Structure formats: structure tokens, C-alpha cells
Amino acid sequence: MSNKPQTNWKLIIRWIGTLLSVLLMVYLIITAGIDEIIHSLGKLSFGTILAVTGLIFLSRIATFARWHVLLQIDKIQVNWRDSLRLTFAGLFAANFLPSTIGGDVVRLAGAIRIGVGGSLAAASLIVDRLVGMAGMACALPFAITPFSALMNINKSSIHGVSQTFGFVMSSKVFWRKIKEVFSKIMQALAYWYRHPKYLILAFLFTFIHMICIFLIIQILVIEMGESISFWKLVGLWSLTYFISLMPISINGIGLQEVSITSVFQLFGGLTHATSLSIALICRALWIIGSLPGAFFVSSILSGDTYTELSKNKNVDS
């Protein structure tokens, strides 16, 4: 009896979502006007470009440090050069190989190859994601004021949203999913119950990463001749972050740009051209920040690891 290949509906949905998001982004570019966008980008000085590029690499170093400290509870102490290479290789894979392999898959495979236990490697990636989300959740309350101010314009829409929310909250399927997710989170965190200092350090590094991103947006807004409250910017960016996490687009391509453009225009008061220019610059910065991973992928595939060398050296001595 032949086994028929199963349809991967999640991947299909993500491809469709990515296509629709990209088409919507193209529409936004057309409506904003190419000339307006070029004019906004032309306001950036060379010093500004250097500053935001430096901040994106500092952000990436902070994300490397966040994951690195989470790996240090195992008896095999992971060398920082290994975790640095794996972090950038994961970023590179996420940006350039989104259809076949994810950044977390690269990091997981690489971590196992350098001697980290499979369960710890997987748990560290889950907790790394959770720490990043928790950090952004701390910034989300700053979006309440501009969001509620706009929503108060149409109270009927709020009533409809509250009815939908009430229906979802009363669903048994919803609570079962919540229970499953919570169970997985608690299992992942089990490794760090006795080593809370590593979690604290991970939160410290994620806040450094967040500050870098917020400064990038603030610098771009000012250079384009507009203004926005820093704390409003913090809240609105966290809102776009969570929107981009919706599993309807591969690596948030298109979805992130559309959400940044819409949120900062509607709630932040920025012009269409400025909001869209910031979204496009951010995508370019994410790509630039992941380029060092191209130099690390080959060495990871070849199996060269500093952790193994250090371990062998300790055994010989």
C-alpha cells in the first residue's frame, strides 16, 4: 500500500500569506510614490547610515550573547566563538533560506554538533525566543494610549472585537492550546530553574538588543524630518513585532513592512512615505546584520568547532 504525500497546509498558508503581504507592500510603495520614498531616503546622511549599521550589529551581538549565556548550564561549556558563528549562521539562513530551512534549525543542528545535548539545545532556543518576546511584551503597554485613542473613534468596532474575544476565550480548543503551550514552556524552563542568573543575563542582553532597535527607529524618524515620542515609538514597535510573529508569512516578509507602515502612520502620526521608508530600511538592516553568517555556514558544515578543541585540550592536559 503506497503512502500518499501529505499536503503541508501550514507551509502553503505561509507562502500565500507571504505573497499577499508582498503584493500589499508593493501597493503601499506605489500609493506612497517612488519619488516620495526616494526623497525620504535621500535625507539620510552618511553618518546616519554608519550609526544605524553599527547599532544593528550591536543588536545582533546582544542576541548572540543572550543565547550564549543560556547554553552555559551544561557540563560542556560552549565556546563563545561557536555560539557566535551559530547565531549569525542562523540569522543568515532565516533571511536567505526561508523556504527550506529556518534559522533555529541551523542553530539546533549546529549546537548538537558541537556537543550540546539535543534536549538542552532545543530548550535553549525556545527560551531564547521567550526571553525576546517577554522583553518586547514589557514595551507593549506604551502602545495602549495611541491605540486606544484611535479605537475610541469607532466604539461599535470595539464591541465587535470584544464579542469575538469572548467567544474565543470560552472555546475549549483555545484553552487546550494554551495548556499545551504552557506545558512546553515549563518543560523548556526546567533547565534554568537552578540557574536563574543565566535567565537574568539573557533578559539584560535582550533589553540591550531592544534599545538598539528603538534608537535606530528614532534616528531614522528624526533624519527624515519628523518627530515622535520615544516611548510611543517603543510601544508601537513592540506592537509591530507581535504582528510580525503571526504565522502567515515566511520570516515575516512583507507582513513586517506592512505592519510597520500601517501602525506608525495610523498611531504614530508619521507620513506614509516616512513609515514605509523606515520599514524598507529595517528589512535592509536585518539582511546586512545577517551577512557575516555567510562566512560561518561552511565552517559549521565542515564540523570545525572551538568547543571540541577546548574539550580535547582539557582532556589532554
Domain membership of residue 276 (yes or no) is: yes
CA distances from 287 to 91, 283, 290 (A): 8, 6, 5
What pLDDT does 45 receive?
87
Residue 240, C-alpha cell as written in the block: 509591530
- Higher model confidence: residue 253 or residue 215? 215
Q: Using one digit for the tens of pLDDT, what is the confidence trace for 73-96?
A: 877 788 899 999 999 999 988 877
Apex 97 CA angle, 34 and 95, nearest 5: 45
Percent of the chain topping pLDDT 70: 67
How many structural domains does the chain have?
Answer: 1
Residue 86 lies in a domain: yes
Helices (H), 170-229: 172-189, 196-223
Q: Say what the pLDDT of residue 302 is.
A: 62
Q: What integer pLDDT is reported at residue 162 of this predicted model?
A: 47
- The grid coordinates listed for 201 are 543575563
The set of residues, in sequence order, having a beta carbon less than 8 Å from that of 153 and lying 6+ positions away, is none
Classify residue 44: in a domain, yes or no. Answer: yes
pLDDT band (50, 70, 90) for residue 1: very low
Alpha-carbon distance 106 to 54, whole Å? 25
The string of pLDDT tens digits covering residues 13-49 is 666 656 665 666 666 666 655 666 676 677 888 899 9
pLDDT score at 161: 41
Q: Per mean pLDDT, which of 188-202, 210-224, 295-309 is the most reliable?
A: 210-224
Residues 232 and 146: beta-carbon distance below 8 Å? yes
3-state secondary structure of 205: helix
Confidence of residue 316 (pLDDT cuts 50, 70, 90): very low
Q: Does 263 fall in a domain?
A: yes
pLDDT of residue 37: 65
Q: What is the pLDDT of residue 237?
A: 95
- Domain range enclosing 190: 34-308
The answer to whether residue 283 sits within a structural domain is yes
Has residue 1 been placed in a domain? no
pLDDT at 17: 59
pTM of this structure: 0.80
pLDDT tens string 204-238: 999 999 999 999 999 999 999 899 999 999 999 99
